[in-house]
Structure 1
Amino acid sequence: MSTNKSVSLLKAVKPYKQGWRIQVRLIHSWRQKTIYGGDSLEMIFADVTGDKIHCSCKRTYIQRTQRDLRLGEWHMIDVFSLSNATGQYRTTNHTYKMSIIEDTKISKSSYVCDDKFFRFADFEEIGNGTLKTHFLIDVIGQVTSLRDIQTVQVSGKDKKKVEFRLLDSSGQSIACCLWGKYAEQLDDHRQQTKDPNMVCLIRFAKIGFYRGEVQVTNAFDASLILFNPELPETLGLTNVEHNELALALIDPKKEKRVTRYQAEDWNDVDIKSISEINMATMEEDCKIICSIESIDTDWSWFYQGHDSCKKRAILIKSNSGNLASNEKPVFWCTSCRTNVTSVSPKFKLHLVVKDDTSTCKLMILDTIGKVIVGCEAVELWDGSYDEIEDPDVLPQPIKDLVGLSFCFGVTLGSENVSGGSEIFLVSQVLSGDKLLQIETNSEPITHVTDGSSIMSGGEVSAPEKNSQSSEEGSSTPFSKRKEKDQLEQTSTSKKICTKAIKMEKIKDD
């Protein structure tokens, strides 16, 4: 491996390729086991600027990764994959999440810096709703109103918990609750030190709500707790005056998150504005009328997919690292979990779209990608299996999408409503005899004239939703949302259909 390879900052890494090199410090790690993901090693890295990224390592690579990484040390990491960072509780605000893969190389770095890169949340911002609840935070404060540790029943099992308040240097306080091993750690420290001015630091804590008040708790096993840490903040937290007017906040989404089920006919679903879907509080399908503002080149425009299952296939490199001109490439199918050779490029487009109200990001998979681009992905592929080095170099038919207006059927899944994902999956594009009508009193949609919205030619057949969700980058399976929603549809942007859909190129005024 070349030692002259340039080092990238975390803010620069993007998922269009895997061949990045980063210099990072391991600031936290923990083991995690889930029903769906199995056993994994979760890690948080920070670079020299303090930017952080979450990294996940599957069981296959845990042993070698633990051998090469040491907590608190700086390392060089070469070659890794990146995916969209989602989840109800995210450890960093980085757009992407790292994964250790077969080709990942880890080596020691000579860089020296002892900064632990804490970024403490302001108590007032925690209480007034400024901070998004799906991001974990660092908090530090003096422990007050500490209650005795309790044992409670959770899902039929005994679990320890301890409640208290954290007081900041200005006298503001927030409610806290620690569970399980974290509760035991605090209780043990209290009994051993008898410290009346104990300072507690909770790293990667989650913001929740309990009895109408904002409450900070540990995020399962992802959190880290420290007592009286040697930090400048600790000195300012002893003997502060207690402000009895504790912060309180009602969950703005409390009792508003209602699961809504998929409509069977796309003509029956509402048309919504982009600002509405950005603020969505329930899972549903809807239509948006929008124009394409740009292609998001953080991502590659295609992936190599196994022709049988459509899932991503990863090239197996030869020992030399190069593929001979007469050698047929072999891939590992991530779904079938076997070596395959029948692969071909599949569309996976990431678009930035807009209407009169806002902008958002859409992901379009192969079935719909072929419709809007007008050809198969393989027809635009240059035949090279090398990683993309310049993501701004795009095939002309994809560039030509910019400025076009479309009516897309969009799926708002749990990853959007509660998981913090800002990328919406396109499940349908409407055209042909699928007509749209727009109420005369509705708000105008940018670049859509005469009520028309893209795509000329024949009808676009509706893709099978189960097959759509089986492709690369799918969202919540539709099989989990079969029943129709019985709630009254109250969207103020609901529109009815009158005019045929056309393709139009947006002209500058």
Structure 2
Amino acid sequence: MARRVNMISEINDSISTLKLQVRVMSLWEVMKFENNAEVQSLEMLLIDEEGDKIQATANDSHINKYRSSIIEGNCYLIGNLTVSKNNGRYKVTRHNFRLFFQNTTAMKEVNSEKIPKSKFDWASFTDIGSGAINRDWIIDIIARVVNINNDKYVHRSGNPTRKIEVELEDERKSRMNCTLWGRYAEDICSELDKSVDNCLVIALHLAIIRDVKGNLELSNSMYGTKLYINPDWEEAKELKNRTYPVDGALSLKSTQLSASSKQTPEEDWLSLTNRKTIADLKTTREVGTWNVLGTVHKLVTNYGWSYSGCSKCTKKIDYENNIAKCKNCKGTVFAVPR
């Protein structure tokens, strides 16, 4: 007897044999912190015919097996996924659980007109400001750009990166600041320079909420965020056709870039890094490198804080007649504090 297809709403950690028919609504790669050229995980936002969504992850050990088989926008029949609590620092969906690919996960591409191509859950700025929307949620927003507060290049990890700060107004006429980085900032500025009617409506899929010196604002995530500019959607048309009083006329042309400025190390690190809390690290099933923001409560001086490691393989080295030797590399090496 063929196994029944489960709905996303049914998923919990008591299901031992899971089978889903879903569309890959969004697909993105997360790069390794220590090597931005290597992929750490393949992330997916899956949607079923009921419009429910859940996040699925293929970690680095499974990426090569599944990467070529998964195409954003296509539908798949997927079985044998691991179900885990959705305890991450940033939650892509409101579902209590998330999925992980394993060696036995099976996939088959299918055609299904019943599954929507996309479904956005627009967050209102009022709900964000009131706390009705959790700051750990990754959200969708659609709004009109009403002001450009700043447009400049900053140095991030030694490289110049464009940063634009805009003020947005949503359908409820509530306003919120939004900071966009890199290619997102470049895309906004390019459209502003080409704009004829001086009107810009943007939609951010998978945006993050940031607390900047006590004020909440929006930003793109380091990976995964999609930016839509003046999309041909009814919600966007309504915002675009909104009128403003003459004395409140908006000037949205991209301003002259200010001189390149340098962020403080704290601002640079906090902006878009992959962060987890200590509690997250204790419960996560993800494999990767994460940053933890915390306060030093007490210094432990009983043990050393570093060791002499091999410059090639990082393993601990031994000294023979004051010469560094690595058992793993089987030879003389340079010692590096680690």
Q: TM-score, normalised by structure 2?
A: 0.68
User: Which residue does 1:172 correspond to in 2?
Assistant: 174
User: Structure 1's 54 and 32: CA in aligned 2 closer, same or farther, altered over 3 A?
Assistant: same
Give the counterpart of 1:483 among 298, 301, 319: 298
User: Which residue does 1:76 correspond to in 2?
Assistant: 77
**CA displacement at 1:12 relative to structure 2:** 1.3
User: Which residue does 1:220 correspond to in 2?
Assistant: 222
Q: Deviations over 1:334-380 (max 9, x none)?
A: xxxxxxxxxxxxxxxxxxxxxxxxxxxxxxxxxxxxxxxxxxxxxxx
Is the contact made by 1:137 and 1:204 (CA closer than 8 Å) also made in structure 2? yes
User: Which residue does 2:119 correspond to in 1?
Assistant: 117
**CA displacement at 1:25 relative to structure 2:** 1.0
Specify the SS of the correspondent of 1:60: helix
Equivalent positions of 1:347-496 (< 5 A) are: 414=277, 416=279, 483=298
Matches of 1:231 and 1:88, distance apart in 2: 31
Is the contact made by 1:169 and 1:237 (CA closer than 8 Å) also made in structure 2? yes
Matches of 2:228 and 2:167, distance apart in 1: 16
**CA displacement at 1:211 relative to structure 2:** 4.3
User: Which residue does 1:41 correspond to in 2?
Assistant: 42
**CA displacement at 1:69 relative to structure 2:** 2.1
**CA displacement at 1:194 relative to structure 2:** 4.2
Is the contact made by 1:207 and 1:216 (CA closer than 8 Å) also made in structure 2? yes
Which of 1 and 2 has greater Rg?
1
**CA displacement at 1:241 relative to structure 2:** 4.9
- Given the alignment of the two structures, is residue 184 of structure 1 paired with residue 186 of structure 2, yes or no? yes
Q: Deviations over 1:96-134 (max 9, x none)?
A: 121111111111223114441101001210121211000
**CA displacement at 1:177 relative to structure 2:** 0.7
Specify the SS of the correspondent of 1:149: strand
User: Structure 1's 152 and 32: CA in aligned 2 closer, same or farther, altered over 3 A?
Assistant: same
- Given the alignment of the two structures, is residue 55 of structure 1 paired with residue 56 of structure 2, yes or no? yes
Matches of 1:9 and 1:60, distance apart in 2: 27
Equivalent positions of 1:301-320 (< 5 A) are: none
Matches of 1:206 and 1:174, distance apart in 2: 13
Is the contact made by 2:73 and 2:117 (CA closer than 8 Å) also made in structure 1? no
Give the counterpart of 2:143 among 136, 141, 144: 141
Matches of 1:146 and 1:80, distance apart in 2: 45
Matches of 1:147 and 1:191, distance apart in 2: 16
Matches of 2:85 and 2:278, distance apart in 1: 11
Q: Deviations over 1:249-269 (max 9, x none)?
A: xxxxxxxxxxxxxxxxxxxxx
Give the counterpart of 2:132 among 112, 127, 130: 130
- Given the alignment of the two structures, is residue 88 of structure 1 paired with residue 123 of structure 2, yes or no? no
Matches of 1:242 and 1:132, distance apart in 2: 31
Matches of 1:170 and 1:148, distance apart in 2: 24
Matches of 2:193 and 2:200, distance apart in 1: 12
Q: TM-score, normalised by structure 1?
A: 0.46
Matches of 1:18 and 1:185, distance apart in 2: 45
- Given the alignment of the two structures, is residue 24 of structure 1 paired with residue 22 of structure 2, yes or no? yes
User: Which residue does 2:253 correspond to in 1?
Assistant: none
Is the contact made by 2:149 and 2:167 (CA closer than 8 Å) also made in structure 1? no
Q: Deviations over 1:122-181 (max 9, x none)?
A: 121012121100001100011111256311123444322111111123322111110122
Matches of 1:18 and 1:35, distance apart in 2: 33
Residue 183 of structure 1 aligns to which amino acid in structure 2? A
- Given the alignment of the two structures, is residue 152 of structure 1 paired with residue 142 of structure 2, yes or no? no
Residue 13 of structure 1 aligns to which amino acid in structure 2? I
**CA displacement at 1:40 relative to structure 2:** 1.4
User: Which residue does 1:371 correspond to in 2?
Assistant: none
Is the contact made by 1:86 and 1:415 (CA closer than 8 Å) also made in structure 2? no
User: Structure 1's 63 and 239: CA in aligned 2 closer, same or farther, altered over 3 A?
Assistant: same
Unpaired runs of at least 5, structure 1: 245-412, 426-468, 470-475, 486-509
Matches of 2:77 and 2:150, distance apart in 1: 45
User: Structure 1's 62 and 38: CA in aligned 2 closer, same or farther, altered over 3 A?
Assistant: closer
Matches of 1:211 and 1:196, distance apart in 2: 31
User: Which residue does 2:309 correspond to in 1?
Assistant: none
- Given the alignment of the two structures, is residue 8 of structure 1 paired with residue 10 of structure 2, yes or no? no
Matches of 1:207 and 1:242, distance apart in 2: 27
User: Which residue does 1:272 correspond to in 2?
Assistant: none
**CA displacement at 1:193 relative to structure 2:** 3.8
User: Structure 1's 242 and 156: CA in aligned 2 closer, same or farther, altered over 3 A?
Assistant: farther
User: Which residue does 1:105 correspond to in 2?
Assistant: 106
Specify the SS of the correspondent of 1:71: coil
Residue 20 of structure 1 aligns to which amino acid in structure 2? L
User: Structure 1's 161 and 194: CA in aligned 2 closer, same or farther, altered over 3 A?
Assistant: farther
Q: Deviations over 1:189-242 (max 9, x none)?
A: 223344512110001111112344321111111211111122221121014256
Is the contact made by 2:25 and 2:73 (CA closer than 8 Å) also made in structure 1? yes
User: Structure 1's 225 and 17: CA in aligned 2 closer, same or farther, altered over 3 A?
Assistant: same
Counting strand residues as a fraction of each chain, which structure ranks higher? 2
**CA displacement at 1:82 relative to structure 2:** 1.5
Specify the SS of the correspondent of 1:146: strand
Is the contact made by 1:151 and 1:161 (CA closer than 8 Å) also made in structure 2? yes
Is the contact made by 1:199 and 1:234 (CA closer than 8 Å) also made in structure 2? yes
Matches of 2:237 and 2:175, distance apart in 1: 17
Residue 224 of structure 2 aligns to which amino acid in structure 1? A
Is the contact made by 1:170 and 1:241 (CA closer than 8 Å) also made in structure 2? no
